[in-house]
Amino acid sequence: MGNKEVTFGVENPGYAQLRQILTLCDSPIKALEIDQQGLKVGSQLKGCDYVCVTPSHQYPTTVTMSVERRKALLEQAQKDDFVVIEDDYESEVNFIEEPLPALKSFDQHGRVIYVGSLSKSLTPGIRIGYLVADKTLVRELRKLRHLHYRHPPSNNQRISALFISQGYYDSHVRRMRRAYADKWLLMQQGINQYLRNCEVHSTEGSFCFWIGLPNGVTSQLLREKATSKGILVESGDTLFMQDDAPDNYIRLGFSAIDSKKILEGLAILGKLIDELS
């Protein structure tokens, strides 16, 4: 990673694997706070060389970064001389309104590295991602990639290129959005009905819901109980950086679950939560 030590800022809670990847650089990693507008700007970003952010749907809270916050983040990047790595996670799944423009689209000074993938929208197995950045950086990254694994397999690049260029990808994403919107509405309905005592973050979309459990209910215990009833719940504790991570958050994914089972499952989960409170 060159000679100068760099500091990475990451969202907290955030994508645990990103933190693991960054440990390969032997660089300091700073936990950054988020609120209902997304990543908080200001003093916490000072001293960061790279700020990693998920503006479309913050992982795991699903919060969408407001336009004002996006602009403020870029202004500070220019003022305090840091680079923003925009992971455009779940940009395709907005069920209420049109998605906001990417951070990169406001980028006047080449401060943003935009990263996306086909893993969520098409399939993770194909291992195709993309990046929008300065030409010089792209050239260097190509060189580095060449030494690591040369290039993504040609057949998958070709398949993806044809699928996109012939318009199938766009219509696939539209169909996917419609299909998941129905499930998402069922989730909203079930959560309002059965998880009344939980703290639910309002969201415009995502394949997941981030839920704060009532006082005294821990995510690990709930996960254990839910598993025995055939309901898989992700505990949120591993997504926090601090040692005393909150133990009362869960992440509920729904994309792979049959619509008919959503309300029934949430009813069982709600009953478990009420029993544990």
27 binds a copy of itself (CB under 8 A): no
What does the H/E/C string look like for the chain? CCCCCCCEEEECCCCHHHHHHHHCCCCCEEEECEECCEECCCHHHCCCCEEEECCCCCCCCCCCCCHHHHHHHHHHHHHHCCEEEEECCCCCCECCCCCCCCHHHHCCCCCEEEEEECCCCCCHHHCCEEEECCHHHHHHHHHHHHHHHCCCCHHHHHHHHHHHHCCHHHHHHHHHHHHHHHHHHHHHHHHHHHCCCCEECCCCECCEEEEECCCCCCHHHHHHHHHHCCCCCEECHHHCCCCCCCCCEEEEECCCCCHHHHHHHHHHHHHHHHHHC
136 binds a copy of itself (CB under 8 A): no
Closest separation between CB of residue 154 and a copy of itself, Å?
3
Closest separation between CB of residue 137 and a copy of itself, Å?
18
156 binds a copy of itself (CB under 8 A): yes
Nearest CB to a copy of itself, comparing residues 172 and 223: 172
142 binds a copy of itself (CB under 8 A): no
Which residues inside 29-68 make contact with a copy of itself, applying CB under 8 A?
Answer: none
148 binds a copy of itself (CB under 8 A): yes
Q: How far apart are CA 159 and CA 48, in angstroms?
A: 38
Q: Which of 185, 67, 176 is nearest to 118 (CA)?
A: 176
Residue choice 42, 101, 110, 153 for contact with a copy of itself (CB under 8 A): 153
126 binds a copy of itself (CB under 8 A): yes
Nearest CB to a copy of itself, comparing residues 17 and 228: 17
Closest separation between CB of residue 227 and a copy of itself, Å?
24
165 binds a copy of itself (CB under 8 A): no
Residue choice 43, 136, 154, 165 for contact with a copy of itself (CB under 8 A): 154
Nearest CB to a copy of itself, comparing residues 106 and 163: 163
Q: Which of 49, 115, 109 is nearest to 82 (CA)?
A: 49
Q: How far apart are CA 124 and CA 129, in angstroms?
A: 10
Closest separation between CB of residue 147 and a copy of itself, Å?
5
Count, residues near a copy of itself per rule CB under 8 A: 17
Residue choice 71, 79, 142, 151 for contact with a copy of itself (CB under 8 A): 151
Q: Would you give the binding string for a copy of itself spanning residues 86-125, x where CB under 8 A is met?
A: ---------------------------------------x
Contacts to a copy of itself by CB under 8 A: 17, 20-21, 24, 125-127, 147-156
